[in-house]
Amino acid sequence: MRQIKGWLEWFLDCLGRVLSNAETTLGTVLFKAQLWSKINQNPVNERQRLIINRMLEDDFTGCMNTSKYAKLTKCSNDTALRDIQELKVRLDFSLPP
């Protein structure tokens, strides 16, 4: 009986972690879907799309600046600045915590 109890406790603990992770993943997916739905009402250019996707990746850290944008999209700093300014005006670009 003790072996079953121990196994059930372990199993339920694992199940709880899985459900918690699934909830987090679902929240992220829903946020991205809502954001892209908003963006697609007035589509962005390919550079902006690339940057938005990059910023939505789990391993993205820090903030986006003109020089980072220019390097990632292989464009000039002036173009990067215009693209960023347009995104700031068009979107409430706040990422989930």
Q: Where are the domains of the chain?
A: 1-41, 43-97
Chain Cα centroid distance, residue 13: 28
pLDDT digits (tens, 9 = 90+) for 35-47: 899 889 888 999 9
pLDDT digits (tens, 9 = 90+) for 7-61: 999 999 999 999 999 999 999 999 999 989 988 988 899 999 999 999 998 888 8
Closest CA to 80 of 65, 92, 90: 65
d(CA 47, CA 74): 9
